[in-house]
Amino acid sequence: MEQVHQENIQAFRSMIRQASRMAVVAHTHPDGDALGSCTALSLWLAGKGKKVTCVLPDTPADNLQFILSPDVRYLYFDTDASAAEAAIREADLVVQLDCNHFSRTEGLEPFLKASTARKILIDHHLNPDRESFELVFSTPEVSSASELLYWVLKAADGDFSTSPSAPLEMTEDLSCRAQSRHLISIGTALLTGMTTDTNNFANSVFPSTFRMASELIAAGVNRDALLEQLYNSCRENRVRLMGFMQYEGLKILPEGAAYMILTKDIMTRFNLREGESEGLVNVPLTIGTVKLSVLLKEDEGHFRVSVRSKKGTSAQQLAARFFHGGGHENASGGKLHIGTDISRADAAEAYVVDALKTFLA
């Protein structure tokens, strides 16, 4: 892929060669792409004999735990702040994946800012903070951080899917985690991250994305098993919540926007776990007249905001203008703070309606 320049690959190789302790970091509330890319890179680095720790702002959701590897050391800032901080402080090389700015790592931000380690960014969001990194691989012209990392590792290693000394472990059985040691391989982790970020090939798919998928499947990655884990392993609660929100929670504005508000009360009623409302925000876009969809999820002191749009309408601009956020042109996120943006949680609806009407006017 043209965004992966040879001189950057030389720099990538040499920075890794010179490093002895590495930290791999990604964004808060890590999704499949964050976990897939972090796991893959950590396994790849460990395969090179490097000491590497994957430091994440939050504990991954239950439904994404299968993307973790027993061969990687993970630290979560929400449950183990001092160890997470130490891993960043002691690292001489930090690689940040799937987020464009330190601020997206939330609790890790001050330690990343204070760190004197050399830093590499591998990301696909708009507006990367290039100044904070010595080496940047960043383009929005790729499906996911996992795909970009695939092309970087492939360039750094030669054709690892066919080489006999291939560092990519391709064979594993996701369905029998208990027996197998290599439950998640580099290739499976990368294909998983790409799959979740593209919504299983529904959006942000480029010719390079199909090439990556086809090479990984040819090399032995079991896509059926990972689809089973991602899409056919959820709890009944999720399906009922999705139905409830679409039946009772969905509001549609004549301007062509839809919104839903997932309050703490609703989450309690459906005993909803982190990650279980994934994909809900996309549903309203299946309506022909809807070009913009917003989902608010109540959290401590704020709402987490997800925005999705059809081509020609910018989710990124809505997120940046009204929700302190950003992301991709058609898939972005942000926050709505209770106490500053709105006085009380029940003022969220009026704020969203006003934001959508103003934005689409």
Residue numbers of the site for Mn ion (CB under 5 A)?
33, 98, 144-145, 197
C-alpha distances (whole Å) from 307 to each of 68, 175, 250, 282, 359 are 27, 33, 14, 9, 13
Taking the complex as a whole, the smallest distance from the CB of residue 145 to Mn ion amounts, in Å, to 5
Burial class (CB in 10 A: 0-12, 13-18, 19+), 204: buried
Burial class (CB in 10 A: 0-12, 13-18, 19+), 158: exposed
Interface of this chain with ligand 5GP, residues 62 to 121, rule: CB under 6 A: 104
Interface with ligand 5GP (CB under 6 A), residue from 32, 128, 187, 325: 325
Nearer to Mn ion, 197 or 276 (CB): 197
Residue nearest to Mn ion (CB): 33
Taking the complex as a whole, the smallest distance from the CB of residue 359 to ligand 5GP amounts, in Å, to 17
Residues in Cβ contact with 323 at an 8 Å cutoff, skipping those fewer than 6 apart: 305, 307, 333, 334, 335, 336, 355
> What residues pair up with 51 in beta bridges, in sequence order?
21
Interface with ligand 5GP (CB under 6 A), residue from 328, 342, 348, 356: 328
Q: Which stretch binds ligand 5GP (CB under 6 A): 84-92, 130-138, 260-268, 326-334?
A: 326-334
Taking the complex as a whole, the smallest distance from the CB of residue 254 to Mn ion amounts, in Å, to 33
Taking the complex as a whole, the smallest distance from the CB of residue 21 to ligand 5GP amounts, in Å, to 27
d(CA 232, CA 66): 13
Q: Which stretch binds ligand 5GP (CB under 6 A): 70-78, 111-119, 186-194, 321-329?
A: 321-329
> Where does the chain have alpha helices with state H?
6-18, 32-47, 81-90, 109-114, 145-157, 186-197, 207-218, 223-231, 236-244, 264-269, 315-323, 348-360
Nearer to ligand 5GP, 188 or 332 (CB): 332
Taking the complex as a whole, the smallest distance from the CB of residue 327 to ligand 5GP amounts, in Å, to 3
Note whether 36 binds ligand 5GP by CB under 6 A. no
Taking the complex as a whole, the smallest distance from the CB of residue 128 to Mn ion amounts, in Å, to 13
Nearer to ligand 5GP, 60 or 183 (CB): 60
Nearer to ligand 5GP, 89 or 113 (CB): 113
Interface with ligand 5GP (CB under 6 A), residue from 318, 331, 348, 356: 331
Nearer to ligand 5GP, 71 or 299 (CB): 299
Interface with ligand 5GP (CB under 6 A), residue from 306, 309, 314, 330: 306
> What residues pair up with 96 in beta bridges, in sequence order?
25, 121
Taking the complex as a whole, the smallest distance from the CB of residue 207 to Mn ion amounts, in Å, to 19
* Antiparallel, parallel or unpaired: β 292-298 and 326-327: unpaired
The answer to whether 295 and 303 are in contact (CB under 8 A) is: no
Note whether 335 binds ligand 5GP by CB under 6 A. yes
Note whether 327 binds ligand 5GP by CB under 6 A. yes
Cα four-point dihedral sign 271, 276, 278, 280: negative
Residue nearest to ligand 5GP (CB): 333
Taking the complex as a whole, the smallest distance from the CB of residue 192 to ligand 5GP amounts, in Å, to 15
Nearer to ligand 5GP, 185 or 277 (CB): 277
Residue 169: name its binding partner from ligand 5GP, Mn ion, none (Cβ under 5 to 8 Å by kind).
none
Interface with ligand 5GP (CB under 6 A), residue from 333, 342, 345, 352: 333
> Where does 50-95 have alpha helices with state H?
81-90
The answer to whether 68 and 60 are in contact (CB under 8 A) is: yes
* Antiparallel, parallel or unpaired: β 251-253 and 73-76: unpaired
* DSSP state at residue 179: T
- Residue 2's CB is within 10 A of a number of other CB atoms, namely 8
Binding site for ligand 5GP (CB under 6 A): 27, 104, 125, 306, 325-328, 331-335
